[in-house]
């Protein structure tokens, strides 16, 4: 039987919809009239929805994964019928019943597919190993060549001056980004693509561009000197350049078992891929982790981690300095709502120290998760800040500052979020032991 505590919130259903159109259509359909055979059994949610045709669409959803199936012809995924059924369930209007035939059939097929997918991969043969090594060496060589070209370009750019011929500078940076994609260094390409967005109209552009180019240069130098660097730093450099690791290789490394609280989630579109970053916090280890999900071509994320839930799981961290990114190994079948939680919170100075330590290990790091306590500040001109009892403060950035203020009011509060040079991007607040996802 499904625990009512596992029932999704309306906000979670909002997030599950692939776009605003489906979200709105789903809400319109979330009325009893078109629905029949609606029920929930365990994590299996199902119902028939009468559309414009005579035959109702059969909707089946495994809310634990989540996985969706609807017999409608929509190319949106999940479709409006699935989203509408989720709204009905989230609003407590779906009763526990015996499973419908069509849903049972789909669940059976789905379980078979999962079993096949989760079967251990076949061992590589020596020939395959040899070929993989050869491919890796070839890629290293391509990256070598690409970064050598980039190094020359950077020297030329700075030698002639960033202001010279500046109207063409973004295009030239963009061209370099394309070449780096060809050279199989997509991570570096993304950094150049971002720098191409800095134009002469960008406030303080010389400083921002100089700083960005300095970081790119540092990555190039680190790659070129990789033979002299420790392995973990080389792994970090490779990750930032865009080398990927097979998840099965990561899962083969020792894991960290804990009850992981999902404290935040952020989606971003990077090139043609949507990236979902899910931030976790270990209850016992006090350790942060980042699990990433990718979706291409407008598809929905297959993320099964949602803020405001926690799960017992073993996380396997990707190698590198300041290890943060992790793959989820063995885990509970179902996540559950976060139990009362009072995480040990850092002061602003301690949080800044944690950020500095992480940055010392990985100078290209974008942000570092922290749990920090303080009161919010607000200045009409400069925005929000968080000040602690010692009077140290940090800027609060991002679109969650107002929700944070609404939740915390003027009282001191524990916030979880990501700290970076720009400030703290809050994602959740802990109020009286309750995690409030913002």
Residues 264-293 close enough to bind other proteins by CB under 8 A: none
CA 244/CA 236 separation, integer angstroms: 11
Pattern 88-127, binding to other proteins, x per CB under 8 A?
A: --xxx-----------------------------------
Residue 387 interacting with other proteins (CB under 8 A): yes
Cis check for the bond before 64: say yes or no (omega within 30 of 0): no
Residue 393 interacting with other proteins (CB under 8 A): yes
Per CB under 8 A, the segment of 112-120, 185-193, 233-241, 389-397 that binds other proteins is 389-397
Query: What CA–CA distances, in Å, run from 172 to 162, 175, 177, 262?
Result: 11, 5, 9, 41
Pattern 23-52, binding to other proteins, x per CB under 8 A?
A: xx-xxx-xxxx-------------------
Q: Are 322 and 265 in contact (CB under 8 A)?
A: no
Residue 214 interacting with other proteins (CB under 8 A): yes
Residues 220-249 close enough to bind other proteins by CB under 8 A: 221
Quote the least distance from Cβ 45 to other proteins, whole Å: 16
CA 80/CA 102 separation, integer angstroms: 19
The CA-based angle 237-240-246, given to 5 degrees, is: 95
**Residue 9 CB contacts under 8 Å (≥ 6 apart), including other chains:** 90, 308
Residues 343-372 close enough to bind other proteins by CB under 8 A: 352, 355-356, 359-360, 363
Nearer to other proteins, 56 or 282 (CB): 56
Q: Are 284 and 309 in contact (CB under 8 A)?
A: no
Helix, strand, or coil (residue 143): helix
Helix, strand, or coil (residue 211): helix
* Binds other proteins (CB under 8 A): choice among 160, 168, 171, 246: 160
Residue 322 interacting with other proteins (CB under 8 A): no
Residue 419 interacting with other proteins (CB under 8 A): yes
Q: Are 374 and 331 in contact (CB under 8 A)?
A: no
Q: Kindly report the length of the chain.
A: 438
Per CB under 8 A, the segment of 189-197, 269-277, 315-323, 392-400 that binds other proteins is 392-400
Residue 161 interacting with other proteins (CB under 8 A): yes
* Binds other proteins (CB under 8 A): choice among 38, 40, 396, 426: 396
At 288, give phi and psi (nearest 5°).
-85, 160
């Amino acid at each position: 039987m499904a625990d009512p505590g596992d029932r999704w919130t309306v906000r979670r259903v909002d997030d599950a919809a692939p776009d605003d159109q489906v979200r709105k259509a789903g809400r319109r359909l979330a009325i009893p009239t078109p629905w029949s055979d609606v029920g929930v059994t365990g994590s299996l949610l199902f119902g028939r929805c009468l559309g414009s045709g005579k035959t109702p669409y059969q909707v089946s959803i495994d809310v634990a994964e989540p996985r969706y199936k609807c017999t409608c012809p929509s190319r949106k995924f999940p479709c409006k019928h699935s989203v509408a059924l989720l709204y009905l369930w989230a609003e407590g209007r779906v009763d526990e019943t015996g499973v419908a035939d069509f849903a049972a059939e789909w669940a059976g097929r789905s379980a078979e597919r999962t079993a096949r997918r989760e079967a251990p991969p076949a061992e590589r043969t020596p020939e395959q190993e040899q070929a993989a090594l050869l491919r890796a060496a070839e890629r290293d060589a391509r990256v070598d060549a690409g970064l050598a070209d980039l190094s020359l370009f950077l020297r030329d750019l700075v030698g002639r001056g960033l202001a010279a011929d500046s109207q063409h500078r973004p295009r030239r940076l963009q061209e370099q980004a394309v070449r780096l994609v060809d050279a199989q260094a997509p991570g570096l390409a993304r950094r150049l693509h971002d720098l191409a967005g800095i134009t002469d109209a960008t406030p303080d552009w010389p400083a921002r561009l100089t700083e960005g180019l300095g970081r790119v240069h540092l990555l190039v130098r680190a790659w070129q000197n990789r033979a002299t660097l420790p392995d973990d730093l080389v792994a970090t450099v490779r990750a930032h350049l865009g080398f990927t690791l097979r998840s099965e290789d990561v899962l083969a490394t020792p894991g960290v078992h804990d009850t992981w609280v999902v404290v935040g989630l952020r989606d971003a579109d990077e090139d043609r891929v949507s990236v979902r970053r899910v931030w976790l916090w270990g209850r016992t280890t006090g350790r942060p982790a980042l699990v990433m999900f990718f979706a291409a071509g407008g598809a929905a994320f297959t993320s099964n981690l949602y803020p405001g839930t926690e799960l017992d799981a073993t996380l396997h961290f990707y190698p590198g300095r300041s290890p943060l990114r992790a793959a989820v190994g063995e885990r509970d079948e179902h996540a559950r709502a976060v139990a009362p939680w009072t995480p040990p919170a850092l002061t602003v100075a301690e949080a800044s120290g944690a950020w500095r330590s992480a940055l010392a290990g990985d100078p290209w790091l974008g942000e570092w998760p922290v749990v920090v306590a303080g009161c919010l500040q607000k200045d009409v001109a400069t925005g929000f800040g968080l000040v602690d009892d010692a009077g140290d403060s940090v800027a609060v950035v991002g679109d969650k500052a107002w929700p944070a203020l609404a939740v915390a009011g003027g009282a001191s509060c524990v916030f979880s979020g990501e700290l970076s040079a720009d400030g703290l991007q809050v994602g959740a607040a802990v109020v009286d032991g309750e995690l409030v996802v913002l």
